[in-house]
Amino acid sequence: MYIFCTDCWLIAVLYFTWLVFDWNTPKKGGRRSQWVRNWAVWRYFRDYFPIQLVKTHNLLTTRNYIFGYHPHGIMGLGAFCNFSTEATEVSKKFPGIRPYLATLAGNFRMPVLREYLMSGGICPVSRDTIDYLLSKNGSGNAIIIVVGGAAESLSSMPGK
């Protein structure tokens, strides 16, 4: 709201007009950007934690998949690194499979953040989105849902 009261009000008006026409794009898988998914920062991110993607099974590109990812942790950063970036080379390990990391729909109501999330292949975890990706978007889609959440992470205790 502040930007509407500055000299940049025209940018805000244009962006919010864009949002009106683009509101349902996250529910259809968003706009994946290979450029964003291949940023060098993701490799540093992967090495810092360290994060690995271990392939244990081949996936058919003629089918769609739903995967549960565990553990959730506070933010699900392992899932983000593995499936929303190319830091662990998910597209080379599973050629023909398009991973979609599902997150809270509220994240897509925040201006600019929604564009960033969609560029990594992140989508809302809602029935409409999952139904669209599994039945109307062709085959070779893999939806990754990070099970658990903030309430569960607050209930956890070291060693249990």
Q: How many whole angstroms separate alpha carbon 49 and alpha carbon 38? A: 18
Q: Find tokens 């690194």 and name the residue.
A: 81
pLDDT at 157 over 90: no
Two tokens at 49?
């934690």
Q: Which residues fall within 8 angstroms of residue 126, CB to CB, at 6 or more apart?
A: 27, 105
Under 8 Å between Cβ of 53 and 142? no
Return the percentage of the chain with pLDDT > 90, whole number: 61
Encode pLDDT of 81-117 as tens digits: 999 999 999 999 999 999 999 998 989 988 889 999 9
- pLDDT at residue number 135: 92
pLDDT at 4 over 80: no
Under 8 Å between Cβ of 84 and 121? yes
Whole-model pTM over 0.75: yes
Encode pLDDT of 50-65 as tens digits: 899 999 999 999 999 9
Band of pLDDT at residue 68, cut at 50, 70 and 90: very high
